[in-house]
Amino acid sequence: CLQDKNALHLYSVNGKYLGSETLKEEVSDLCVTGEYIVMGSLQGFLSIRDLYSLSLSISPLAMRLPIHCISVTKEYSHILVGLEDGKLIIVGVGKPAEV
């Protein structure tokens, strides 16, 4: 069962255990940006989690294909998602009026 095998663990810079979150998907890539963790899974979901609580910031976005890589632009305005079929999906970040 995948639910028992995948988890995200949070430690302080001094190695103190701060918490963990069980994941339903198998993480293929992740990127820490500011106060968020941006993750892609082999099940095709793009997730954004709060760095400190590990809780989901928004509902995961379904990409329909396994995600192979994730990158965030240096202005934090877009998330670049590389899919298994070679497509590059660009996701705007921010309020709908800003995207």
The CA distance from 22 to 68, in Å, is: 21
Contact 81, 40 (CB under 8 A): yes
- pLDDT at position 87, please? 97
Stronger pLDDT, 97 or 19, i.e. the higher one: 19
Beta carbons within 10 angstroms of residue 80's beta carbon: 14
pLDDT, tens digit (0-9, with 9 covering 90-100), for 24-79: 899 999 999 989 999 999 999 999 999 999 999 999 999 999 999 999 999 889 99
**Model confidence, pTM:** 0.85
18: enclosing H helix or E strand: strand 17-22
Sketch out the chain's domains with CATH numbers: 7-92 (2.40.10.360)
Say yes or no to pLDDT of 95 above 70.
no
